[in-house]
Structure 1
Amino acid sequence: MVITYYGLECFKIQFGDLVLALNPQGKNSEHKTPKFGADISFVSTAHPDMNGAESVSFGERKPFVIQGPGEYELKGITARGFLTETSYDGEKRNNTAYKISLEGMTLVFLGALSNAALPAVVKSALEDADILFVPVGGGGVLDARSAHKLSVSLEPKVIIPMHYGKEGSRELTQFLKESGEESVRPIEKLTLKKKDIEGKKGEVVVLQIS
């Protein structure tokens, strides 16, 4: 599995020939749109900064779009979406947190989550992931302290912060401080297999913005 970060909440996840996109920026977003093709695009929030599935339609790849709560199964992956909330861009709206399983690995993507007080049934379902993607930027999504507390409570093996602006930003620095991971340095991409994360507990990985 190879994970690449494209800023804000957009990630490319490649597993063999399968490519997933998480919250790609749309053409009407003020943020830079990604340039890659995806087979499946997950959208957590109906906002141009996060629902740009058209941006990851490239070449022969035209993504199947997963948006909203429910259960999904296609192309060898299973996913569940859980209704949560966000205040991104100054407006309360629905946000979907996803639990994605493929090839024996589990990813939890919190999207633009703004409220760390998850319903018990949702929190239980999102626990013990291999990889957790968590927003840390504040301003309508979780701030650094809330993001850290929620991350610890969900007990993932690896934590990838997102939605913090630029590398070295105050929000990211604060999150790393809360996590006791001030020495972490950004890496270009994360390449791993299931065996690589066995025994890990809450390790923070910061990805460079591609």
Structure 2
Amino acid sequence: MKGGDDVKIKWHGHACFSLISSEGTRVLTDPFDDHVGYELPRVEADVVTISHDHFDHCYLTPQLGHPEIVRNPGTTVFRDVRITGVESYHDNNGGKTRGNNVMFSFKIDDLQIAHLGDLGHPLGPEHVLALGHPQVLLIPVGGTYTIDWQEATKVVETLEPRIVIPMHYKTEALSFPLDTVDNFLQDKVRARREMYSTIEISPNSLPEEREIVVLSYI
């Protein structure tokens, strides 16, 4: 999956990804602190998106430099990246249990990427409309604090992305009581586990049929 205008997507663990445009604009999603279990991302960023203010999604370190922080619904344009925040909830109780959650839709190099943060409920028509037609979907699958693997499967079927990258699930590094990615992968025809943490994607390199790609955090 390589081409001239690739977007680089690197998983740092949990819900934290680096999204890097072909022009070098660096977006970091949901950075975590050192209580989570993963090694802290040692990267600089131009933009940091924060889905909600929990310690495992909003930890800002000097290492990041002086990025623009995006944490609210609405649209922001930074250089060659367009970011749209979509309001949702961290639970299935209208936010009364765990508060709000902001999903983000990124337009980078003509590639539409959606990061659902800690989504805790099924998507409504208004969410689907606001997210548009993501070609790449970064989705929580571990349950407990988010949608579980069954609900995640329904979200995938609703949004119809070409590439699905699961996140926010139990690994050997993570200290939280989440489900592993295994249940989400069951009965999925085109799913693969990769040995690397980075994937490069362009609109021209998208698979014809949907693929689930499990990235490594190492």
Please, what TM-score do these two structures have when normalized by structure 1? 0.87
Identity of aligned residues (%): 23
Letter in 2 for 1:58: Q
- CA separation of 1:92/1:74 partners in 2, compared to 1, >3 Å: closer, same or farther? same
Does residue 195 in structure 1 map to residue 190 in structure 2?
no
Q: Distance in 2 between matches of 1:172 and 1:150?
A: 16
| Per-residue deviation, 1:143 | 0.6
- CA separation of 1:31/1:98 partners in 2, compared to 1, >3 Å: closer, same or farther? same
Alignment of 1:128-207 (within 5 A): 128-166=133-171, 171-181=180-190, 184-188=192-196, 189-197=198-206, 199-207=207-215
Q: Which structure's relative contact order is higher, taking Cα pairs within 8 Å and 6+ residues apart?
A: 2
| Per-residue deviation, 1:99 | 0.8
| Per-residue deviation, 1:193 | 1.9
Please state whether the residue corresponding to 1:123 is helix, strand or coil. helix
**Deviations along 1:21-69, whole A, 9 cap, x unmatched?**
0111135x433321111110010011010011x23x437x321100021
Please state whether the residue corresponding to 2:155 is helix, strand or coil. helix
| Per-residue deviation, 1:157 | 1.1
Residue of 107, 114, 130 corresponding to 1:125? 130
2:4 matched residue in structure 1: none
Q: Distance in 2 between matches of 1:170 and 1:110?
A: 17
Gap regions ≥5 residues in structure 2:
1-6, 173-177
Question: How many residues are treated as equivalent by the alignment?
Answer: 201
Letter in 2 for 1:149: K
**Deviations along 1:168-192, whole A, 9 cap, x unmatched?**
x95311101143346x122411012
**Deviations along 1:76-108, whole A, 9 cap, x unmatched?**
2111111111149x9421000111112211111
Please, what TM-score do these two structures have when normalized by structure 2? 0.84
Alignment of 1:5-84 (within 5 A): 5-15=11-21, 16-26=23-33, 29-32=35-38, 33-52=40-59, 54-55=60-61, 57-58=62-63, 61-84=65-88
Please state whether the residue corresponding to 2:130 is helix, strand or coil. helix
